[in-house]
A = this chain, B = another copy of it.
Amino acid sequence: MRPALDLATAQYIVEVAATAAFAASGVMEAARKRLDAVGVVVVACLTAFGGGTLRDLLLDRRPLFWVQHSAYLWGVFALSIAAMVAMRARHRRPTEQAIVWPDALGLGLFAATGTQLALETGWPMLAAAVIGVVTAVFGGVLRDIVCNEIPMTFRDRRPYAVCAFAGGWAVIAADALGASDAAALAAGTVVTVALRGAALQFDWRIPAWRIRD
């Protein structure tokens, strides 16, 4: 029984699946906006790596994670080109369904790792939870900004960023209770994914601020 290794392997699998899901959501949004092939690859990269890059800039971490692990960069290039060759419009709805869970796993894992890295750097709790949200969510935000849309996650009333925020606090709580890094990471990911799953299952909505202009 080597649980630490198993956890690391699980983390790696989640990371790969989530990066692919983020890139796929970039490919689909780019295609919806009728970008050309270059635009599709760039938006896929921005969606997959934007949040983590912003995290690394804010925490002043170098090398950037996609520089250190440039296999991810090759993978997203390959995935976007394969998607353009293989996918057709009729595949979009099935693809959106297929990436819901890897996307939720990525939301949880990236929020948890972002929060944990910030805590290691000595950031206070709220700032650490915020950087977790930035890590998990700002790839999609940059995707929508480049595609000239108000970021979906700020207006569709579906709990998304807020699940990541809760997962970040789970990491902080686990850390304060003396849990190991691996346990805190797992706790944060599980909390985010469970909340996101419940939100989708029970069709939860975030309140919006009614306004008459």
Contacts and interface: CB of A to CB of B under 8 A. Distances in A.
A146 interface: yes
Nearest to A28: B211
A146 B145 contact: yes
A130 B66 CA distance: 11
Interface stretch (A54-62, A97-105, A107-115, A179-187): A54-62
A124 B60 contact: no
Number of copies of this chain in the oligomer? 3
Interface of A: 30-40, 42-43, 45, 53, 57-58, 60, 62-64, 66-67, 70, 73-74, 77, 84, 87-90, 92, 122-127, 130, 141, 145-151, 153-157, 159-162, 206-213
A45 B133 CA distance: 13
Contacts of A209: 30-31, 34-37, 40, 84, 87
A118 to B, nearest CB: 8
A63 to B, nearest CB: 7
A159 to B, nearest CB: 8
